[in-house]
Amino acid sequence: MNFIERESEVFFHTYKRFPLNIERGEGVYLFTKDGTRYLDIFAGLGVNALGYSHPKIIKAIHEQSGKYLHLSNYFLQEPQIQLAEVLTKLSGYPKVFFSNSGTEAIEGAMKLSRKWGSSKGKTEIVSFSNAFHGRTFGALSLMDNEKYKNGYEPFLQNCTSIEFNNGEQLRATVTETTLAVILEFIQGEGGVRPATQAFVNELKLLQEKFNFLVIADEIQAGLGRTGRVFSFQHYDIQPDVVVVAKPLGGGLPLGAILGNEKVAEIFTPGVHGTTFGGNPVACAAGLGTLREIFENGMMTNADTVGAHFKSELLKMKGEFPSLIKEVRGIGLMLGVELTFDGEPIVTAMREKRILINCTAQTVLRFLPPLIIQEQHVTETVSALREVLSSMSIL
């Protein structure tokens, strides 16, 4: 049996995997066992913010793993405290809870807001179409896409999903009993869709009127990818709770909930917890990662290279008006909506040794490591141009 057959034999068939046998990664490149080099514009779905084998991350992991790999949250742990201090300083949010993953951080944020609302008669959580918040039942209860939900009913009650970027519908939905509104300010899996400023303005007005919590899911867009610490900072709003994960652990599993003063005292000993969350090795790797992003210029790089990338994609839209419907996104979170299924383009790009991904059927998604340089953008865009040219001839 070959590699692909062996995988198929032993796993539940939950993933459509790339047929590549990766041996190692370095910087923005992945290498297969047979020595082929791939440019990675995918970054482990946004996890690998510093690409592969970054010396600072390797060093941090090495040092911490020589001390202890795990103690449990009964113990005070230096790497956790350091990372939490960096996060609070960066974000201005005074409180942190560490989880293992994005979806767990979402569950934690839901529990935090439920507890906050329970003494106030607030029970309803509002979320939006095309949202993606994870795969656990709480997260799924906030999502409307049947692809993720079919057959798993029933979900949590008191969760309402309404149309994204529809301020009127939001106004008609929230009331005094609304406990939280949760959103990605730039939807990721849903097709790289930024919120409009008008919609966010409406949300802010309603937040002031009804005193619900705004929860920002920054798991994909947060921590420098859009050229700001958080994607909500492109808008004039201050969420109460912020959830981060993907790049937080530098490639090791780590998520976090950040909360403002409103919710700072809601969790008390024993009401929430985790065995593995805040793993010290992951925290040490995360600390190294955040230093590179925010102190050594990688967020600024995401901003400048991202702007260049987007302008190149917009040029291409002009060249292929019948194939490209829209170019969206901010910084290094970009999407190209096609007028047709994007999977064949992903495959054609892979044959040109460039890894991208397609989400929401028709949206090519570009989520490169933040260390990417202009030459890599040029390489990606020319390959895409060739692929689209060969299509438009057909």
Residue 102 in contact with ligand PLP, rule: CB under 6 A: yes
Residues 168-187 that bind ligand PLP (CB under 6 A): 184
Instruction: Compare residues 183 and 355 and give the one whose CB is closer to ligand PLP.
Output: 183
Residue 217 binding ligand PLP, by CB under 6 A: yes
Question: Given candidates 51, 79, 138, 188, which one binds ligand PLP under the rule CB under 6 A?
Answer: 188
User: What is the Cα–Cα distance from 49 to 41, expressed in whole angstroms?
Assistant: 11
Residues in contact with ligand PLP, counted by CB under 6 A, come to a total of 15
Per-residue contact string for residues 44-83; x = within reach of ligand PLP by CB under 6 A: ----------------------------------------
* Shortest separation between residue 104's beta carbon and ligand PLP, angstroms: 7
Number of neighbouring beta carbons within 10 Å of residue 6: 10
Instruction: Tell me the closest approach of the beta carbon of residue 5 to ligand PLP, in angstroms.
Output: 27
How far is Cα 111 from Cα 263, in angstroms, rounded to an integer? 11
Structure tokens, 5: 């057959």
- CB-nearer residue toward ligand PLP: 130 or 207: 130
Q: Taking contact as CB under 6 A, which single stretch among the options 31-39, 63-71, 109-117, 216-224 is the one that binds ligand PLP?
A: 216-224
- Of 195, 245, 282, 287, the one binding ligand PLP (CB under 6 A) is 245
By CB under 6 A, tell whether 220 contacts ligand PLP.
yes
Which range of residues in 73-81, 84-92, 102-110, 118-126 is near ligand PLP by CB under 6 A? 102-110
One character per residue 129-168, x = contact with ligand PLP (rule: CB under 6 A): ---xxx----------------------------------
- Asked if 90 and 227 touch (Cβ cutoff 8 Å), the reply is no
Q: How far is the CB of 61 from ligand PLP (least distance, A)?
A: 19
107 touches ligand PLP (CB under 6 A): no
Measured from the CB of residue 82, what is the shortest distance to ligand PLP in angstroms?
A: 22
Q: Is 154 helix (H, G, I), strand (E, B) or coil?
A: coil
List the one residue out of 174, 76, 197, 172 whose CA is nearest residue 125.
174
Cite the DSSP H helix spans in the chain: 3-10, 43-46, 55-65, 78-91, 102-118, 137-141, 146-149, 167-173, 197-210, 280-294, 298-319, 343-351, 374-393
- By CB under 6 A, name the one of 219, 305, 336, 345 that touches ligand PLP: 219
Strands 255-259 and 95-99: antiparallel
Q: Closest-CB residue for ligand PLP?
A: 102
Q: How far apart are CA 345 and CA 194, in angstroms?
A: 23
As a whole number of angstroms, the distance between CA 255 and CA 272 comes to 15
Looking at residue 353, its amino acid is R
Q: Any contact of residue 230 with ligand PLP (CB under 6 A)?
A: no
125/114 Cα distance (integer angstroms): 9
C-alpha distances in angstroms, 310 versus 8, 10, 13, 196? 37, 41, 35, 18
Alpha carbon distances (Å) from 319 to 313, 379, 385: 10, 17, 9
**CA pair distance 238, 203, nearest whole angstrom:** 11
CA 123 – CA 184 distance, rounded (Å): 21
Query: Smallest gap, in angstroms, from Cβ of residue 184 to ligand PLP?
Result: 5
Q: In whole angstroms, how close is the CB of 128 to ligand PLP at the nearest point?
A: 12
Rounded least distance, CB 311 to ligand PLP, Å: 25
Considering only 64, 91, 103, 357, the residue that binds ligand PLP (CB under 6 A) is 103
Q: Which positions lie near ligand PLP, rule CB under 6 A?
A: 101-103, 106, 132-134, 184, 188-189, 217, 219-220, 245-246
